[in-house]
Amino acid sequence: MISSEMEKENTSQQYKNAMEVCRSLFSAKLKDYGSAWRILRLPSLTDQIYIKANRIRSIQEAKTQKISDGIREEFIGIINYSIIALIQLEHGVVSSPDFSPEKALKHFDEKSNLAFNLMENKNHDYGEAWRDMRVSSITDLILQKILRIKQIEDNKGETIVSEGLDANYLDMINYGVFSLILLNEKNFDA
């Protein structure tokens, strides 16, 4: 039996490894496209995340796919688009790209670290319950978060008793990373 301290260290390292994969792809896309994503409004980002989560669910249910990008790639997309949404929440939307690759990566790292710290705090309180979850259940939770975000967006960002947009995007980042970890541990796609 792994001690909880060893499990925590393992989770932290697995999380960092998964996030490095996401960061590498983000960095490569910055070289290809620059920071063109800076023009995206939050509802556009939410819809992009929805498309990816819905595709994951479709693949999980059908147990087949026709496009080569797999579930792992879609979770990476959810993580990266959620980080972009957090950046947009903080810095606003612009009419033309305005971030250098270095500045974009700096902001990516800030939001990634924010999500990591949240994960560690929640992991402490929840005792790594996510490790006993199915990836399909995590997919459903991401879809639920997206629907919550859409409702908050429709309410012009206002909530009465609920967490705001940023908390939902942070949760989706962590759900995405947990899914990547579980998929790697089980060495399969659903």
What does the pLDDT look like over 144-158, one tens digit per residue?
Answer: 999 999 999 999 877
pTM of the model: 0.92
Query: Per residue in 109-144, pLDDT tens?
Result: 999 999 999 999 999 898 899 999 999 999 999 999
Which is nearest to 116 in space by CA: 6, 11, 4? 11
How far is residue 42 from each of residues 29, 80, 99, 126, 164, measured CA to CA in Å? 20, 14, 17, 30, 13
Q: How confident is the model at residue 71 (pLDDT cuts 50, 70, 90)?
A: very high
Q: How confident is the model at residue 161 (pLDDT cuts 50, 70, 90)?
A: confident
Tokens 């997206």, residue located: 146
What is the reported pLDDT for 6?
A: 54
Which is nearest to 31 in space by CA: 101, 112, 120? 101
Q: Would you say residue 30 has pLDDT above 90?
A: yes
Q: How confident is the model at residue 37 (pLDDT cuts 50, 70, 90)?
A: very high
CA–CA distance, 34 with 23 (Å, rounded to integer): 14
